[in-house]
Structure 1
Amino acid sequence: MGHLWAMFHSGSLQSRPFVGHSCAMAVNDPHFKIRMPRELKQLLEGAAERQGRSLTAEIVHRLQLTFSNDMPQENLLETATNLRENMEYVAKARADYEALNASVEDRLRKLEENMKTVDRMRVQLEGHLADATASMPKKKKQ
């Protein structure tokens, strides 16, 4: 395992990227047999088929992903700090959004009340106009 880890970090494994449906494996790469539960093999075969890879390419791809996801311990504290800062930023942004949303809802409620008042005033004015028009003396036709 140490040799594989050294190969990965030296770049020799990274220099063989997986592109499209093929992996850059050479015929002279080491071969070995492996035992695994039948169900796991079936899962790998299904995944390989969906990805358009051979079973070997799928296994190698998944193994390589596990190494590319490894993170040195010294980065863990920095990553955790960044994550906490991001979570605090998101929490503040959410609180700001909720406050803004409440303000908008309050303004909409006041606007609706003002529109109802304007409608009542319009109806009253139309009534006063109708009363004033009715009480005006009518001109006689000459």
Structure 2
Amino acid sequence: MTRGDPHFRLRIPEDLKREIETAARANSRTITSEVVYRLEQSFGRSSTFQGGLVEEIEAIRVRLAYVQDLLQKQELSSRSHNQDA
């Protein structure tokens, strides 16, 4: 997406606007990027935003969550083992 892309005005209910703003913050995106991403997903297109950076970030988040889960399980196992000793 570039500054040269077309602009248009959009009227949306206030509560929907707040939801978009919240989602944009949670996903580390601008409001425009969040809207474009969601529209692309609704039309079955993979995101072209920043050359697929969104998908790459999401893949990293998934891997990070997996590693955090493994570390937590390892810590719990270690605590249990230490208590048995």
Find the partner of 2:34 among 58, 70, 84.
Answer: 58
**Gaps in structure 1 of 5+ consecutive residues:** 1-24, 70-142
| SS in structure 2 of the partner of residue 52 of structure 1 | coil
How far 1:33 sits from its partner (Å)?
A: 0.6
TM-score, length-scaled by structure 1: 0.31
Q: Deviations over 1:90-142 (max 9, x none)?
A: xxxxxxxxxxxxxxxxxxxxxxxxxxxxxxxxxxxxxxxxxxxxxxxxxxxxx
**Gaps in structure 2 of 5+ consecutive residues:** 46-85
Q: Distance in 1 between matches of 2:34 and 2:42?
A: 13
Counterpart residue type for residue 24 of structure 2: A
| SS in structure 1 of the partner of residue 25 of structure 2 | helix
Q: What pairs with 1:1-142 in structure 2 (closer than 5 Å)?
A: 25-68=1-44
The runs of at least 4 consecutive aligned structure 1 residues that moved more than 2 Å come to none
TM-score, length-scaled by structure 2: 0.51
Q: Distance in 2 between matches of 1:61 and 1:51?
A: 11
CA RMSD of aligned residues (A): 1.1
| SS in structure 2 of the partner of residue 34 of structure 1 | coil
How far 1:64 sits from its partner (Å)?
A: 0.2
Q: Distance in 2 between matches of 1:47 and 1:27?
A: 22
Q: Distance in 2 between matches of 1:34 and 1:27?
A: 17
| SS in structure 1 of the partner of residue 7 of structure 2 | coil
Q: How much identity, in percent, do the aligned residues show?
A: 42
Counterpart residue type for residue 35 of structure 1: R
Structure with bigger gyration radius: 1
Counterpart residue type for residue 58 of structure 1: E
How far 1:63 sits from its partner (Å)?
A: 0.3
| SS in structure 1 of the partner of residue 16 of structure 2 | helix
Q: Distance in 2 between matches of 1:59 and 1:26?
A: 15
Counterpart residue type for residue 30 of structure 1: P
